Amino acid sequence: MIEKYTVLLTLCLIGYLIGSINGSIIFSKVFGYDDPRTFGSKNPGATNLLRTGNRKLASFSLIFDMLKGIIVVFFAGFLELSNFEITVICMSCVLGHIFPIFYKFKGGKGVATGLGSLLAFDIVLGSICIITWLTMLKIYGFSSLAAIVTFFLLPLHVFFTYNSFKVTAIIVMMSAIIIWRHKDNIQNLVNKTESKIGKK
């Protein structure tokens, strides 16, 4: 039992540390662009990078941040861990992205990393989330609204798929943190001042 919890804690720490590596900050520095924390929404994420007009840079960031969640959870899947334990690892990746130790605990909003970890945890569930996000984005044009709706509905998908209070509870907490990180966007949506994706 102690060994199992040691493995889980180790994987959570690894997930948190990998989650703390921010793709948008790294790629912006490597390719000579402004730090995303200095313009637009000041959020170090793919959506804010689109404000530079550089879709390639934003794509690199999006893929990198998704891969953080995918890689950690994918390898955790080879171990004898329960669904509850794997969702805890998913959450550790997201917490790393949102509260990164490498950037004074000020990170992104966790959407891409959350979607990546969910995709590795359950490819059907993850695909439903991505389709939901893309559909909402296509209809309304707001990345923030797409994320809020996706993670608001996620706990319902998880509950009816796994019928587990523990698994659902972790997903509720993860979703709540991601939605909370969009609090400024929610205010902007209410005030009709939120920028649509790709607009400066």
**Among 130, 90, 137, 113, CA closest to 44:** 113
Q: Compute the average pLDDT of residues 2-28.
A: 92
Q: How confident is the model at residue 18 (pLDDT cuts 50, 70, 90)?
A: very high
Q: How confident is the model at residue 5 (pLDDT cuts 50, 70, 90)?
A: confident
Number of domains making up the chain = 1
Q: Is residue 198 over pLDDT 80?
A: no
pLDDT above 70 covers a percentage of the chain that reads 98
Q: How confident is the model at residue 183 (pLDDT cuts 50, 70, 90)?
A: very high
105: left (phi over 0), alpha (psi -120 to 50) or beta: left
Domain that residue 111 falls in:
2-191
Is 198 inside a domain boundary?
no
CA distances from 144 to 72, 97, 150 (A): 25, 17, 10
Q: What is the pLDDT of residues 46-96, one digit of tens each?
A: 988 887 778 899 999 999 999 999 999 999 989 889 999 999 999 999 999
Q: What is the mean pLDDT of the chain?
A: 93
CA distances from 169 to 18, 50, 52, 59 (A): 23, 34, 38, 31
